[in-house]
Amino acid sequence: MDNQKRRVVITGMGVVAPNGIGIDNFWDSLVHGRSAVRRITHFDASSYPCQVAAEVPDFDPTDYMDPKTAKRLDKFAQFALVASKMAVEDSKFDLDLIDPYRIGVAIATGIGGGECKENQHIIFMEKGVKRISPFTAVMICTHSAAGIISCELGVKGQNITISSGCTSGLDAIYSAYNAIQLGDADIMFAGAGEAPITPYIIAIFCAAGLLSRDNGEPERTIKPYDSRGEGTVLGEGGAILILEELQSALKRKAKIYGEILGYASCNEAYNIFRIDPSGEATAMVMKKAIEIAHLSIKDIDYINAHGNGSPEYDLNETVAIKKVFGKSANSIPVTSIKPVTGQSFSVTGILQMITCLSVIKHGIIPPTMNHTIPSIGCDLDYVPNHFRKKEVNIALMNALGYGGGHTALIAGRFNY
């Protein structure tokens, strides 16, 4: 077998996002710019500098799993498991007909079981060690999402968890791609789960100065590339992709959303608390991903950007895009989904891929909401506030992580 010729396509998608559960609901809200950012309801945040977040509304895990399983999982793992079941249904493959050792799982999370950690710590401090739940050790583990997906679905192949901050989602996609491309698996679940909207986690991000203090109109809080932007807000949820080796997908006549073409990552090694204003590393990963995909800058039809509403991150990304695309930078649509979905760490990368595949399918580019007064130096085509119809064949995704890690990934329309 010539492993170098194994092509990897996406044949299933599942999403539990603040702006919609299910692909259709998620996509419709993006296209029409309906933000899911609201005042926090998970706890009383009235004394916090940031009092808004993107919560998944009306989520009851027992609608998708038995109560015993739900009780033994932190919310981040619940989100990932539900999205996995949706992705299997969407992909329409019968797990019983496939060698379980040829199916693997690559799940990303930045926070892991934060809600469980906080709740069980309170119980420990108030009532002592004997009152701690015996399931806590598993619930707080970042690997519990990947583990429960394998157990619930009977998947016995490669099983890994990736935690590289905001780039984790795209990194998980690459890990899954690599497993298939190298012949270690034929099908991979690639996804993420996050549930960071808890009292302590919101507090520490407020203390770090990373969250916006603009609580007046929650749906307008995240303002990418805008002079009024002052930070991001956190989001939660889960999203899963089914990656499949091309011949496997063709054999079972699967619907194919698109193909993975290129990936690159690096760390700018600048400052763990700040991003390098030069944009050199961000530009490098985009250039490298394009090169690995055997494409030219003229082939990129659309960029789904990091765009988190933090001025220094938005400027870094804009500067980097100009370095890569030169005079053609202003002719490429560049949009951010974060004003609608919030910043959900690892999940955002999976949502970016789902967005790009939907853009390719529908020929519609969702807008960058809340972009009205451009920041100095941010002068690209951000498709502000209204969707645009445009045929897209190849899309590039950016993820810029706290701590200096940057990732770029390219997906394209499938052409046999």
DSSP string, 229-269: ---B-BB-EEEEEEEEEHHHHHHTT----EEEEEEEEEE--
Q: State which residues form the domain around 330.
A: 262-412
Q: Which residue has the tokens 């009977």?
A: 154
CA atoms within 13 A on the CB side of 274: 6
Residue 51 lies in a domain: yes
What backbone torsions phi and psi does residue 235 show, to the nearest 5 degrees? Answer: -130, 170
Residue 257 lies in a domain: no
Q: Do 189 and 296 lie in a common domain?
A: no
How many helical (H) and strand (E) elements, i.e. helices and strands, does the chain have?
13, 15
* List of residues 6+ apart from 303 with CB closer than 8 A: 321, 332, 333, 334, 335, 395, 396, 397, 398
Q: Which residue has the tokens 């996050």?
A: 194
pLDDT of the residue at 288: 98
Alpha carbon distance 169, 177 (integer Å): 12
Q: Do 155 and 292 lie in a common domain?
A: no
pLDDT of the residue at 2: 41
Which string of DSSP letters, residue by residue, matches 315-369? HHHHHHHHHHHGGGGGGSBEE--HHHH-B-THHHHHHHHHHHHHHHHHTEEPPBT
With a threshold of 0.85, does the pTM exceed it?
yes
**Which of 217, 251, 285 delimits the end of a domain?**
251
Q: Do 237 and 323 lie in a common domain?
A: no
Q: Do 291 and 223 lie in a common domain?
A: no
Structure token digits, residue 147:
């583990």
Q: Do 40 and 180 lie in a common domain?
A: yes
- Kindly list the averaged pLDDT for each block of 10 residues, start to end, along the chain of length 416: 74 98 98 98 97 96 95 96 98 93 97 91 93 90 96 97 96 98 97 97 96 96 97 98 97 97 97 92 98 98 97 97 97 98 98 98 98 97 98 98 94 95
Residue 2 lies in a domain: no
Q: Do 13 and 159 lie in a common domain?
A: yes
Helix, strand and coil percent figures for the chain, each rounded to 5:
40, 20, 40
Going by their DSSP bridges, the two strands 8-17 and 159-162 should be labelled as unpaired
375: which DSSP letter? P
CA gyration radius for the chain?
A: 20
Closest-CA residue to 26 (of 302, 221, 237, 194): 237
Asked if residue 412 lies in contact with residue 261, where contact means CB atoms within 8 angstroms, the answer is: yes
Q: Do 110 and 245 lie in a common domain?
A: yes
Task: Give the dihedral of Cα atoms 202, 208, 210, 212; nearest 10 deg.
Answer: 70
Q: Do 361 and 324 lie in a common domain?
A: yes
pLDDT of the residue at 5: 75
Angle at 91 between CA 181 and CA 96, to 5 degrees: 85
Count how many domains the chain has. Answer: 2
Q: Do 332 and 276 lie in a common domain?
A: yes
Residue 187 lies in a domain: yes
